[in-house]
């Protein structure tokens, strides 16, 4: 059985291995054991914390194969970004130049450094091992976050964002980053990305261009990848599009990948998920595939299961194995979402 649960300190070795497997551009999981240990401690403190409004909490879950006790994936939500460390983006804009005297009008695209998403919640740290990328497991892992968000909405910013990984080659070199390295930062993409993941962001404020950058002055290869996603990230972007997330002109400052956003109440899965009362019985023949999560916080559990939902009585039939995996008993509640 595959169960999603909050990460814990005993998962450090598994998280380190995932950080190694995730490759370049996965900023939220640098290959650094001490940083990952602190990350897990922060998550555990966030699950323990009483929250009146979101601040700097982080909620990282892991996907565990209960047959092998192996951690095979991760997914996370940041409660409110930029409240402690600066959260940078480039905002795409347009400057208009017009002269009646020479009868010329030009529209020039610009990139302006900004902190516009400060306070927004963020979907992040989605990773699934190759051998488990089948049977809609990746979809279940990603969408399980919507159930957690719906159940604990008071813990998150009203706008939810997701940064999509931009174009880079097998060695981690970004076409967009090349001009920035040459003219401003002087360090390569992998190092800059790693420092950002460590939370060491002072160099950004010190070295990034302060004024708007004219896109037309960038190398052609850099211009082409602005707002484009890495091939491995396109399925995740398609899933978010289906949930109502849209690109509003914000891109990553290092690889130019797009950031998409949606108001929490406009996310399709948040609107369509339902809280139902549990009946424990054998799986009926007419059962269908759902993502099912308990309504707890510290003991949050989610999985994919065949269940039967009663439209008339607001209850759901779970078999004993699923109920045990979700840590729910007869008469308790779960939140469900059709796969």
Active site residues: 230
Coil vs helix vs strand at 181: helix
Which region, left, alpha or beta, applies to residue 328 given φ > 0 means left and ψ of -120 to 50 means alpha? Answer: beta
Secondary structure class of 317 (helix, strand, coil): strand
Taking each helix axis from N to C terminus, what angle separates 12-22 and 33-48, rounded to the nearest 10 degrees?
Answer: 120
- Asked if 204 contacts 253 with a C-beta cutoff of 8 angstroms, the reply is yes
Q: How far apart are CA 248 and CA 102, in angstroms?
A: 34
Strands annotated E in 186-314: 213-214, 246-251, 258-263, 274-280, 288-294, 302-309
Note the Cα 167 to chain centre separation in Å.
17
Are the C-beta atoms of 167 and 256 separated by less than 8 Å?
yes
Name, in order, each residue with C-beta under 8 angstroms of 82's C-beta and a sequence gap of 6 or more: 115, 117, 118, 119, 120
Question: Are the beta carbons of 327 and 270 closer than 8 angstroms?
Answer: no
CA dist 177 and 111 (Å) reads 13
């Amino acid at each position: 059985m595959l169960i999603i649960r909050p990460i814990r300190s005993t998962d450090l070795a598994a998280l380190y291995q995932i950080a190694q497997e995730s490759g370049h551009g996965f900023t939220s999981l640098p290959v650094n054991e001490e940083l990952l240990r602190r990350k897990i401690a922060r998550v555990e403190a966030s699950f323990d914390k009483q929250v009146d409004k979101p601040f700097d909490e982080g909620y990282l879950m892991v996907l565990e194969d209960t047959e092998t006790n192996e951690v095979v994936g991760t997914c996370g939500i940041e409660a409110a970004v930029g409240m402690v460390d600066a959260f940078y983006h480039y905002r795409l804009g347009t400057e208009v130049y017009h002269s009646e005297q020479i009868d010329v009008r030009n529209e020039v695209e610009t990139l302006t450094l900004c902190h516009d998403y400060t306070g927004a919640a963020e979907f992040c740290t989605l990773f699934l091992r190759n051998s488990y990328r089948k049977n809609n497991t990746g979809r279940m892992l990603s969408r399980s976050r919507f159930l957690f968000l719906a159940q604990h909405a008071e813990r998150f910013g009203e706008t939810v964002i997701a940064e999509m990984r931009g174009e880079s080659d097998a060695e981690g070199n970004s076409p967009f980053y090349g001009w920035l390295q040459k003219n401003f930062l002087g360090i390569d993409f992998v190092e800059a990305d790693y420092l950002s993941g460590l939370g060491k962001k002072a160099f950004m404020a010190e070295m990034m261009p302060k004024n708007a950058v004219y896109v037309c002055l960038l190398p052609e290869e850099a211009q082409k990848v602005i707002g484009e996603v890495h091939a491995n990230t396109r399925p995740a972007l398609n899933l978010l599009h289906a949930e109502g997330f849209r690109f509003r002109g914000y891109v990553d400052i290092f690889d130019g990948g797009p950031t998409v956003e949606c108001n929490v109440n406009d996310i399709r899965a948040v609107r369509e998920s339902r809280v139902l009362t549990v009946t424990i019985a054998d799986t009926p023949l007419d059962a269908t595939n759902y993502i099912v999560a308990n309504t707890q916080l510290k003991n949050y559990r989610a999985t994919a299961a065949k269940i039967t939902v009663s439209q008339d009585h607001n209850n759901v039939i779970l078999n004993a194995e699923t109920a045990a995996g979700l840590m729910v008993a007869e008469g308790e509640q779960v939140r469900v979402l059709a796969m």
